[in-house]
């Protein structure tokens, strides 16, 4: 669908978008220094947010904005807010009472670099800042009705019927192996819904048709599951150095994963089928979806 | 200022408002059962949110709405959202890595009744739900611009330059005694800002003048500090049975409190001076402020 030359130029776009959200995230954290917030808390937020990260969710937001003919600056805050929520979830998931991980993105986890109390509060603070970023954004404020909808998306996908609910089910699943439906549900809540929001939130700022919205949502839901199954597969195959987090830690904890229930081969079958369907959903948009296709390509071919 | 008979009738109002927010909170949690959220998470939210509580913040919201000539139903979601954020902060503050408390409101803390992971996630979920409640409220949606401002208040007072920042300073203060200014700052961030928001958020729905807004904000900031100093004083004087949480636990942990730095007598002086000034700020509103005066009266005279 995309020629090799085009693919390279789109790949370059993804790097630019990752840099773009990094710049925006840095500005958000820097602004905290003038706010009267405690230094130690800001340092911990800085450590967690500005560390190395793939920025898949923000890149999806920018690629979705491209498809919707929005300017990148219209969705800067959406991209940042989604990454802030994602980062807060990583900090809390890594805590001793949860997954008890020492490494994340190739560095000490926040509670190991600082301490547990600071890590809990840093996650809490990042969730609040994510909403504040959507509240205060200059571009979003031009249309309060659309702004409210972006806030609604973030609140819904972050809470009990989204990310937090998924994390609870993920922990409970350690008690026993579950079936494919159960894993798909955990993945959908824990990872899928926030990825879906990253792609769908920009649509609130556009005049997209109902049919187009349905197609985009179909892609968003499918690519979220693709992302997570690839993540499961990478966990079983890579070593710690490449992955940047303790590898095989999911297996050690008896986490419910696609390969643990279906085996690697069937998991690859599933992921390719889901990917193919996600591409079909994008057919509707023609070449406007080329950057989104490129992100999807990166997601299915990534090695860490 | 308020006659004895009137005081009794206002006191009755406070009970009705506390019941009112309880009904609304119960409906919010019950709605989760139909949402696909994990049962265990909903049970923990139910336990934490619907346990006994004074509901001071929601009552302040309703009393502020009265002063502003708003109907109670216009601020139901504001009252509930503020209490949800307050409850999430209690759950996280009680965690072993933070204050490590076993009792809260006369019952086991959430991490003792359930487990640590569930308690962390329950707090996280309640923060997200607080924003979702403000997003989805039927009355607030009638005026998106005002709705956005209530969301902005909640985000700002919950984050690093509010509640979460205050909790971090509170933990750090255990390392050494601090001065009055330092304690006032911790109290303002940790407790004061959310109480301020409980009172000020309804003002976004009204056509209040700038001068009136300043007076209301003055009262809000003062009464927040009054509340926290009384809390400090009660901790040093009451036993566990009356207080419903482990008494003198602040002293055991070398927490920075007004009595620990100023002594009880000077702390009482301070609190009465702050209370008197808060009453002066309400003079501006005449009899419209009678219910707020009654809440302030309850706050300064409470025994637990």
- For the stretch A185-240, pLDDT in tens is 999 999 999 999 999 999 999 999 999 999 999 999 999 999 999 999 998 887 55
Query: Has residue A42 got a pLDDT over 90?
Result: yes
State how far the Cα of B256 lies from the Cα of B80, in Å rounded to an integer: 30
Q: Residues of chain A with pLDDT > 90: what percent? A: 82
How, if at all, do strands A107-108 and B103-104 pair? unpaired
B chain contacts of residue A120, beta-carbon cutoff 8 Å? 92, 95, 97-98, 120
What pLDDT, on a 0 to 100 scale, did the predictor assign at position A1?
A: 46
Domain covering B4-301 in this structure, CATH number: 1.10.600.10
State how far the Cα of B131 lies from the Cα of B123, in Å rounded to an integer: 13
| CA within 13 Å, CB half, A222 | 23
Nearest to B125 among A88, A95, A160 (CB): A160
Task: Specify the range with the lowest mean pLDDT, choosing from A71-85, A194-208, A266-280, B242-256.
Answer: B242-256
State how far the Cα of A218 lies from the Cα of A212, in Å rounded to an integer: 10
Domain covering A4-206 in this structure, CATH number: 1.10.600.10
- For the stretch B11-41, pLDDT in tens is 788 999 999 999 999 999 999 999 889 999 9
What pLDDT, on a 0 to 100 scale, did the predictor assign at position B253?
A: 67
Query: Has residue B193 got a pLDDT over 50?
Result: yes
CB A152 within 8 A of CB A131: no
Angle separating helix axes A72-93 and B116-136, nearest 10 degrees: 150
CB A155 within 8 A of CB B128: yes
What pLDDT, on a 0 to 100 scale, did the predictor assign at position A70?
A: 98
Instruction: Report pTM.
Output: 0.95
Chain B closest-CA separation from residue A145 CA (Å): 6
What pLDDT, on a 0 to 100 scale, did the predictor assign at position B173?
A: 82
Query: Cα dihedral sign for A289, A291, A292, A298?
Result: positive
How does residue B252 score in pLDDT terms, banded at 50, 70 and 90? low
State how far the Cα of A93 lies from the Cα of B102, in Å rounded to an integer: 23
CB A8 within 8 A of CB A292: no
Question: What is the end-to-end Cα distance of chain A in Å, rounded?
Answer: 25
Nearest to A155 among B97, B131, B152 (CB): B131
Query: Has residue B298 got a pLDDT over 80?
Result: yes
Q: Residues of chain B with pLDDT > 90: what percent? A: 82
**Dihedral (Cα; B26, B29, B33, B37), 10-degree rounding:** -170
Residue B75 CA: distances (Å) to CA of B20, B31, B64, B198: 11, 19, 10, 10
Domain edges within chain B: 4-301
Q: Which of B120, B149, B178 to substitute to test the interface with A, most A CBs within 10 Å?
A: B120
How does residue A36 score in pLDDT terms, banded at 50, 70 and 90? confident
How does residue A256 score in pLDDT terms, banded at 50, 70 and 90? confident
CB A266 within 8 A of CB A259: no
Nearest to A204 by CA among A124, A146, A272, A267: A146
Beta bridge partners of A108: A103
pLDDT (average), residues B256-263: 91
Chain B closest-CA separation from residue A130 CA (Å): 8
Question: DSSP readout, B57-89?
Answer: HHHHHHHHHHHTT--HHHHHHHHHHHHHHHHHH
What pLDDT, on a 0 to 100 scale, did the predictor assign at position B186?
A: 95
pLDDT (average), residues B256-278: 95
B chain contacts of residue A189, beta-carbon cutoff 8 Å? 36
Query: Has residue A243 got a pLDDT over 70?
Result: no
Nearest to B180 by CA among B121, B263, B238: B263
Query: Has residue A100 got a pLDDT over 70?
Result: yes
Query: Has residue A15 got a pLDDT over 90?
Result: yes
- Look over chain B and give the mean of its residue pLDDT values, rounded to a whole number: 92
State how far the Cα of B160 lies from the Cα of A122, in Å rounded to an integer: 8
Chain A closest-CA separation from residue B154 CA (Å): 8
Question: DSSP readout, A144-191?
Answer: HHHHHHHHHHHHHHHSTTTHHHHHHHHHHHTTS---HHHHHHHHIIII
Query: Has residue B180 got a pLDDT over 70?
Result: yes
Nearest to A192 by CA among A290, A108, A86: A86
CB A63 within 8 A of CB A17: yes
pLDDT (average), residues A127-155: 98
- Look over chain A and give the mean of its residue pLDDT values, rounded to a whole number: 92
State how far the Cα of A241 lies from the Cα of B4, in Å rounded to an integer: 73
Task: Specify the range with the lowest mean pLDDT, choosing from A159-168, A272-281, B32-41, B145-154.
Answer: B32-41
What pLDDT, on a 0 to 100 scale, did the predictor assign at position A212?
A: 98
What pLDDT, on a 0 to 100 scale, did the predictor assign at position B1?
A: 46
Nearest to A132 among B95, B159, B169 (CB): B159
pLDDT (average), residues B139-148: 97
CB spacing of A125 vs B155 below 8 angstroms: no
Place of tokens 């002063």: B67
CB spacing of B135 vs A127 below 8 angstroms: no
How does residue B10 score in pLDDT terms, banded at 50, 70 and 90? confident
Query: Has residue A106 got a pLDDT over 50?
Result: yes
What pLDDT, on a 0 to 100 scale, did the predictor assign at position A26?
A: 98
Chain A closest-CA separation from residue B283 CA (Å): 31
Nearest to A150 by CA among B88, B151, B160, B156: B151
What pLDDT, on a 0 to 100 scale, did the predictor assign at position A10?
A: 73
CB spacing of A158 vs B128 below 8 angstroms: yes
Query: Has residue A241 got a pLDDT over 90?
Result: no
Is residue B234 classed exposed, middle or buried when 0-12, 13-18 and 19+ CB atoms within 10 A define those classes?
middle
- For the stretch B45-102, pLDDT in tens is 999 999 999 999 999 999 999 999 999 999 999 999 999 999 999 999 999 999 999 9
Query: Has residue B43 got a pLDDT over 60?
Result: yes
Provide the number of CB pairs (under 8 Å) joining chain A to chain B.
Answer: 165
Record the tokens describing residue B171, joined without a space: 């933990």
- For the stretch B234-251, pLDDT in tens is 988 875 555 566 555 665
Nearest to A38 among B32, B38, B168 (CB): B168
Number of helices (H), then strands (E), belonging to chain A: the values are 16, 2
């Amino acid at each position: 669908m995309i020629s090799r030359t085009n693919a390279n130029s789109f790949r370059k776009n993804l790097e630019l978008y990752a840099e773009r959200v990094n710049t925006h995230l840095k500005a958000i954290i820097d602004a905290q220094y003038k706010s009267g917030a405690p230094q130690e808390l800001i340092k911990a937020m800085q450590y967690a947010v500005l560390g190395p990260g793939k920025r898949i969710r923000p890149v999806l937001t920018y690629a979705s904005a491209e498809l919707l003919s929005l300017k990148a600056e219209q969705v800067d805050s959406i991209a940042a807010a989604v990454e802030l929520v994602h980062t807060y979830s990583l900090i809390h998931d890594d805590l001793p009472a949860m997954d008890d991980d020492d490494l994340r993105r190739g560095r000490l986890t926040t509670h190991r670099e600082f301490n547990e109390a600071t890590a809990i509060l840093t996650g809490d603070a990042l969730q609040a800042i994510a909403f504040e970023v959507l509240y205060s954004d200059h571009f979003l404020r031009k249309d309060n009705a659309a702004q409210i909808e972006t806030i609604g998306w973030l609140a819904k996908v972050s809470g009990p019927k989204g990310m937090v609910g998924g994390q609870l089910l993920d922990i409970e699943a350690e008690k026993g192996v579950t079936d494919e439906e159960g894993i798909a549900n955990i993945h959908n809540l824990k990872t899928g819904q926030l990825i879906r929001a990253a792609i769908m939130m920009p649509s609130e700022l556009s005049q997209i048709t109902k049919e187009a919205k349905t197609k985009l949502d179909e892609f968003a839901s499918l690519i979220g599951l693709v992302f997570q199954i690839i993540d499961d597969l990478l966990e079983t195959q890579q070593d710690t150095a490449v992955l940047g987090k303790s590898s095989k830690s999911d297996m050690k904890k008896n986490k419910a994963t696609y390969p643990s229930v279906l085996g690697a081969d069937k998991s690859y079958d599933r992921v390719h089928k889901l990917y193919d369907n996600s591409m079909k959903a994008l057919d509707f948009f023609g070449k406007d979806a080329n950057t989104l296709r490129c992100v999807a390509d990166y997601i299915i071919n990534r090695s860490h």
